Amino acid sequence: MTIQVDLGGPLGTADLLAAREPITVNTGPAVRERMAAARSFLNKALGDDRAVYGATTGFGALVGYAGRPDQRDQADNTLAHLGAGQGPDLDPAVVRAALLVRAWSLAQGASGASPHVVDAMAAMLGTTFTPAVPRFGSVGASGDLIPLGAAAQALRGRGHAYVDGERLPAAEALRRTGLEPLPLDGRDALALVNGTSLTTAALALALHSVRRSHRSAQLLTCLLADQLGCDPQFLDPRLIGRFHHAGVSSVAATMRAVLSGCVPSGERPLQEPYSIRCSPQLLGAAEDALRYVDNVVEADLGGVSDNPLFFPVDDAVVHGGNFFGQPASFGADMLAIVLAQVGNLVERQLDLLVDPHRNGGLPPMLAAGPGQQHGLQGVQLATTALVAEIRRDATPASMQSLPTNLHNQDVVPFGTMAALRALDQARLLRLLCGSLALGLRQAAHVGARRPLSTGGATLLEALEKGVDPVDPDRPLEQEIHTCAQIAEDIEISLISGS
C-alpha cells in the first residue's frame, strides 16, 4: 500500500522514512489557498516596486545589485551559479526525504512559491525519480544552497537523476517517469534552495537510527548481564532514584523490566566493570541528550526555513535568517557525541565477552575450538576499527565556523556536514550493536548460561533462530547485519511491553 503524506498536516520522521519509496503527497485546498495568497501578495509587492531579495536583487554578497528583470532568467541566475557541488552523490533516500521536507515548508505559504512547484515535487515523490545531489558544497548557513540547487536543476531536466536506482541525465529520467520539466521564476528557484531541508532530513534519519541502536544497546546489555550471571542490583530503583536524572531513571526502568527474573550466579565479583555496572547511567545520559535532539527535529520539521517570508495579512515582506541551520547543527553534534559513547560501551562489552579472564571462563574469542577455530576474533577487530572511525568523526562541526561569501556569511553553522556525518556514523553504531548481538548468540553456543529473564530469553531465542552458531569459522559480514535487525525488531515489542 502506498503511504500518503498530507502537506496540510504535521510532518514526522515516519513520513521521511516512507519517502524512500514512491509515496502519495496530498496538498489539499487549504495548502493551495495559502500558497496562492502569498503568491498574489508577492506579485503585489513587486508591482509596488518593493525590494524583495532574490526577486529584484542579486544573491548573497551581491544583494546590492539588481537582479535580472525577466523572472525566468532570474531562476537561471539563481541556480546556475550554485552548480559547484562536488563528491559522491548522496543516498537517494536522503535526497527524497529532503525534498519532502522542502515541499512541506513551501506548502506553508510563507515562502511565496508558486503552487505548481509543490505540485511538481509531490508528483516526483510519487515516482522513483530522485535528483542526483553531490555531497559536498553546503555550509548550512543560507540554507543547503548547492545540494538543493542540484535537486532543483534535476527537476527542471538539467543535471542527473536516478530512476529505479539507475543514474541518468535528468531530462531522460523525467521522460521515463512521465514527469514534466519544472518551470521556475526567480522566487520559486530561491524558495527551493534557501532552506535547511537536507540538513533537517539527514538529522531526522540519523536520530531515528540512533534511537533504535540506543534501545538495542539496552536490551543487549541486559542479555549480557544475564548470560554472565551478574547481580542486577546496579539497576535497583532506590540507587537510581538517588541519581536524580530523568533519562537514567527511564532507561533503568526499561532494563529492570527486561531483566525481570534474572538472579545472580554468585560467581561474579561484587562489582562489575563499568561497561555493565554504569550502563544505566551512560545510556540514561544518552537518553536525556537524545530528547534534546528529538525537540530539535520536531521544531525543524514544523518550521519554515527560507528568506524572505511573506505575510499578506500584515502587508509585510520580512527579511531575516530562518535559513540558518544552527539548531540542527548543535543537534547533530550532540547526536554524534551520543552515538560515539554508546558505541564505546557496546565495543567494550564485546571485548569483555570474548575475554576468558572476564567472561566467566568461556573460551577466548568465543571460539568453539580455540586455535582450530577463531570465533569472534575477526568481528572484534572490526568493532575496534568502527569505534575508531566514529571517534575520529565526533569532533563538533557546529563551532568550526569559517567566513565566506565576501563576509556576508561571516558565521556559518556547518549543519549539513554535521547531520550527514551523524547519519554516516549512525550506520556504524548499528553494526556495533549487531556485532555484540552476534557475540551473545555465540556465547550461548560455547557455554554461557541460559538467560533466566523473560526478556533475555526472548532475545536470545530470536538470535539463535536467525543465525547459526559460528562452528566452524565462516565469514560473518551478513550475520552482523542480521543480528542488528533482530535486536531492533525485538526490542520494540519488549520495551513497549515493559
What are the tens digits of pLDDT across the range 318-354?
998 888 889 999 999 999 999 999 999 999 999 999 9
Q: What is the DSSP letter of 160?
A: E
Can you tell me the distance from the alpha carbon of 158 to that of 174, in angstroms, rounded to the nearest whole number?
10
Angle, CA of 86, 92 and 98, to the nearest 5° = 85
Q: Are 220 and 346 in contact (CB under 8 A)?
A: yes
Torsion, Cα 55 144 94 331, to 10 degrees, reads -130
Q: How, if at all, do strands 86-89 and 24-26 pair?
A: unpaired
- SS3 category, 414: coil
The helix (run of H) or strand (run of E) holding residue 145 is helix 145-155
pLDDT value at position 411? Answer: 78
CA distances from 38 to 34, 70, 97, 228, 428 (A): 6, 20, 25, 64, 44
- Kindly tell me the sign of the dihedral angle through the C-alpha atoms of 264, 269, 270, 275: negative
From 53, 162, 274, 292, active-site residue = 53
For 429-473, the pLDDT digits (tens) are 999 999 999 999 999 999 999 999 999 999 999 999 999 999 999
Kindly state the cell numbers that stand for 48: 509596488
Q: Spell out the domains of the chain, with CATH numbers in brackets.
A: 4-195 (1.10.275.10), 202-496 (1.20.200.10)
E strands, 16-105, where? 24-26, 86-89
pLDDT digit string (tens) for the chain, length 498 residues: 678 998 999 999 999 999 999 999 999 899 999 999 999 999 898 888 888 887 778 776 677 777 777 677 778 888 888 888 899 999 999 999 999 999 999 999 999 999 999 999 999 999 999 999 999 888 877 789 999 999 999 999 999 999 999 999 999 999 999 999 999 998 999 999 999 999 999 999 999 999 999 999 999 999 999 999 999 999 999 999 999 999 999 999 999 999 999 999 999 988 999 999 999 999 999 999 999 999 999 999 999 999 899 999 999 999 988 888 899 999 999 999 999 999 999 999 999 999 999 999 999 999 999 999 999 999 999 999 999 999 988 888 778 777 766 666 667 777 899 999 999 999 999 999 999 999 999 999 999 999 999 999 999 999 999 999 999 999 999 999 999 999 999 855 655 444
The per-residue pLDDT for 412 is 78
Spatial CA neighbour of 229 closest among 476, 407, 450, 416: 450
SS3 assignment, position 86: strand
- Asked if 342 contacts 217 with a C-beta cutoff of 8 angstroms, the reply is yes
Q: Is 292 a catalytic residue?
A: no
- Determine the pLDDT at residue 494: 58
- Classified as helix, coil or strand, 367 is coil
Quote the pLDDT of residue 488.
94
Rounded-to-integer distance, Cα 397 and Cα 211, Å: 21
Q: For residues 138 and 198, what is the distance between their CA atoms, to the nearest angstrom?
A: 10
For 70, list phi and psi in degrees, rounded to 5.
-80, 125
